Amino acid sequence: MKRVKHLIFWLVVIGIILLLFSSHVIAEDSFRQQRHALVDIIKAGVVTTRDYLNQEALDEPVLDALRKVPRHEFVLDAERPYAYQNRPLPIGHGQTISQPYIVAIMTDLLKLKKTDRVLEIGTGSGYQAAILAELVDNVYTLEIIEPLAKQAAENLKRTGYDTVHTRTGDGYYGWEEAAPFDGIIVTAVASHIPPPLIKQLKPGGRMIIPVGAQFMTQYLVLVTKDANEKITTRQILPVSFVPLTGKH
Q: CATH code at 105?
A: 3.40.50.150
Residue 2 has what pLDDT? Answer: 60
Residue 14 has what pLDDT? Answer: 59
Whether the model pTM is above 0.95: no
Considering the domain boundaries, does residue 5 fall inside one?
no
Q: Are strands 95-97 and 218-225 parallel, antiparallel or unpaired?
A: unpaired
Considering the domain boundaries, does residue 231 fall inside one?
yes
Distances (CA, A) of 83 to 38, 110, 111, 184, 233: 10, 24, 26, 25, 33
Considering the domain boundaries, does residue 245 fall inside one?
no
The boundaries of the domain holding residue 171 are: 25-239
Considering the domain boundaries, does residue 247 fall inside one?
no
Considering the domain boundaries, does residue 3 fall inside one?
no
Mean pLDDT of 43-69: 96
Considering the domain boundaries, does residue 229 fall inside one?
yes
Least confident of 4-8, 64-68, 204-208: 4-8
Handedness of CA 156, 160, 161, 162 (dihedral sign): positive
Q: How confident is the model at residue 25 (pLDDT cuts 50, 70, 90)?
A: low
Q: How confident is the model at residue 213 (pLDDT cuts 50, 70, 90)?
A: confident
How far, in Å, CA of 191 to CA of 213, rounded? 6
Give backbone dihedrals phi and psi of 72, rounded to 5 degrees, phi first: -65, -20
How far, in Å, CA of 50 to CA of 138, rounded? 30
For 183, left (φ over 0), alpha (ψ -120 to 50), or beta?
beta
The residues with which 131 forms a beta bridge, in sequence order, are: none
For residue 209, give the nearest of 196, 222, 199 by alpha carbon: 222
Considering the domain boundaries, does residue 203 fall inside one?
yes
If one counts the domains in the chain, the total is 1
Considering the domain boundaries, does residue 13 fall inside one?
no
* Residue 243 clears pLDDT 50, i.e. is over it: yes
Please identify every residue annotated as catalytic.
98
